[in-house]
Structure 1
């Protein structure tokens, strides 16, 4: 027998190798583990995986994201009554291109997630924000003190309608007018006549004395009889909504203009996107106030002070159209922007126009 065989129990290199006996023992042990490890599993070969709870139609709610003005349709997945995940609505071309046919069963749509930007994803955080206002708050300290208290909704209605010394408990004895007091002119026909004659005074077709004589019985309803163009006291009510979505915006204007008789209804368009509405109206001779670029068929597009990846209406629906068109159709993109933005960095041409020189560039293109 060759005692120094490489197959002996000690092996080579001073016994540091593995012998046949050790190998067999190890193999038997590992094999046994593999045999018994399957005894604790909950599914056998060929058995279907458990159904994904968040993909069940009964756990899906469809709505609209209000994290920005794009208002993407969204799909909210719920788990035991709690919002667990937000994604885009696959029925919507804003979030899924091409979108699902509208006759797709909800059971199938529930399994398909469409795109949604990070701001939209943060809607869950907004919904469960512990500082989210859920009750009517009334000032509970001097102006600017940031002190508030919750009041019943009925009290809110009473104080808004009737007015009064609303902060007397804070040492403020001033009288705050309510809706009833400001709602001075409630005759629609009279309101129309006063407005028409006020325009006539402004145009010089009627003197101020003639106006006062004609409407002597109703001068108390005007903000200033010497300046009838200011309108009735109803204009003392201002609805300043800031960012407000369609549906709510139309209701707000209907209430403020038609019901209350005030001209002062202001919303998102007034303070943000008014410029492009005016541009569309002027460039089409007043035909339309709002347009959308057909990016899926456009061959060349100029992003002027905006872009598909930085700011627009909006990133979620627009970015995919641009990137897909660039890759699939050879869309060419130019960006006019003083700074090297994300859009400019990915464009075919970047025109770093100097601030204030936009007009010169526009005239040069005519």
Structure 2
């Protein structure tokens, strides 16, 4: 193998010469114009979800795709109460994607004012009209998991009524009207599976005057037999408090996953 003797001065001269050639473009293949699309020749979209809007990069004009619904909302993935941004297909109601809410300080900084129109949100999340993508609006992996929870095949979307013995794990779907009627009116609600027990409904227990037990007045009125046990408090605590206080029971409790 031949050995090349090159001192430091010669090496620097050679490196400088190569640098000059690179700047001048000598010895470098010119880029093939076929690799670059014309600015106006964007290919037709064939895959992925439909875009919700397009923005003219020069004027900033927004053209909304009416086939897509966009809703800025709040995430229930954890207790941080961040925002989220949902894209839905108008025709089917199918959830297309989940992203960050540009109006929420936990998703974007700087974030948009609530008064800013949705068109401004489209502009600031793009590079159009000199906006420079100033509001990126992101959401974490748990927030992204909302889409999996929404489309989960075992997700409960209707009221379920027990269709077997307690603990047997048998259920059947019922309508919301049936649920409200049975919970309110009471009666022999499980006669169809052979249970003869008469179950009191809300109407029978809505009594704030009669003591639950005259010998133990500290237990309060009959209405205290209703116990409201809620989960995490994403608005449900407020609703539960209003219902419980108006119904006349002091027995309202919260229980989260912790």
TM-score bin, normalised by smaller chain: 0.5 to 0.7
**Is 1:265 aligned to residue 252 of structure 2?**
yes
Q: 1:69 aligns with which of 75, 79, 83?
A: 79
Q: Deviations over 1:7-53 (max 9, x none)?
A: xxxxxxxxxxxxxxxxxxxxxxxxxxx79xx5xx9x95232647994
Equivalent-residue separation in structure 2 for 1:103 and 1:234 (angstroms): 45
**Is 1:254 aligned to residue 242 of structure 2?**
yes
Equivalent-residue separation in structure 2 for 1:102 and 1:179 (angstroms): 41
**2:11 equivalent in structure 1:** none
Asked if the contact 1:237/1:264 (under 8 Å) is kept, the reply is: yes
SS at match of 2:51: helix
Equivalent-residue separation in structure 2 for 1:63 and 1:178 (angstroms): 35
Equivalent-residue separation in structure 2 for 1:234 and 1:90 (angstroms): 46
Q: 2:203 aligns with which of 166, 177, 180?
A: 180
Cα 1:241–1:95, aligned 2, differ >3 Å: closer, same or farther?
same
Q: Deviations over 1:58-83 (max 9, x none)?
A: 54221111122322111113356532
SS at match of 1:78: strand
Equivalent-residue separation in structure 2 for 1:250 and 1:145 (angstroms): 33
Cα 1:84–1:244, aligned 2, differ >3 Å: closer, same or farther?
same
**2:5 equivalent in structure 1:** none
Equivalent-residue separation in structure 2 for 1:162 and 1:115 (angstroms): 47
Structure 1 position 101, deviation (Å):
3.8
Equivalent-residue separation in structure 1 for 2:231 and 2:114 (angstroms): 34
Q: Deviations over 1:245-287 (max 9, x none)?
A: 13x3212111111x2100111225xx578xxxxxxxxxxxxxx
Equivalent-residue separation in structure 1 for 2:173 and 2:114 (angstroms): 44
Where structure 1 has 5 or more consecutive residues not aligned to the other structure, the ranges are 1-33, 186-190, 192-220, 274-366
Equivalent-residue separation in structure 2 for 1:62 and 1:256 (angstroms): 31
Q: TM-score if structure 1 supplies the norm length?
A: 0.48
Q: Deviations over 1:90-123 (max 9, x none)?
A: 1111111232344544224233541212111010
Once superposed, what is the RMSD of the aligned Cα atoms?
Answer: 2.8
**2:213 equivalent in structure 1:** 224
**1:46 equivalent in structure 2:** 39
Written as runs of structure 1 = structure 2, the 5 A alignment for 1:296-335 is: none
**Is 1:84 aligned to residue 84 of structure 2?**
no
**1:115 equivalent in structure 2:** 138
Q: 2:151 aligns with which of 115, 119, 128?
A: 128
Asked if the contact 1:54/1:77 (under 8 Å) is kept, the reply is: no
**2:178 equivalent in structure 1:** 155
Equivalent-residue separation in structure 1 for 2:253 and 2:240 (angstroms): 9
Indicate the structure with greater helix content.
1
> Does 1 or 2 have the higher relative contact order (CA < 8 Å, sep 6+)?
2
Cα 1:165–1:82, aligned 2, differ >3 Å: closer, same or farther?
closer
Structure 1 position 54, deviation (Å):
2.9
Equivalent-residue separation in structure 1 for 2:193 and 2:145 (angstroms): 38
**2:230 equivalent in structure 1:** 241
Equivalent-residue separation in structure 1 for 2:226 and 2:206 (angstroms): 9
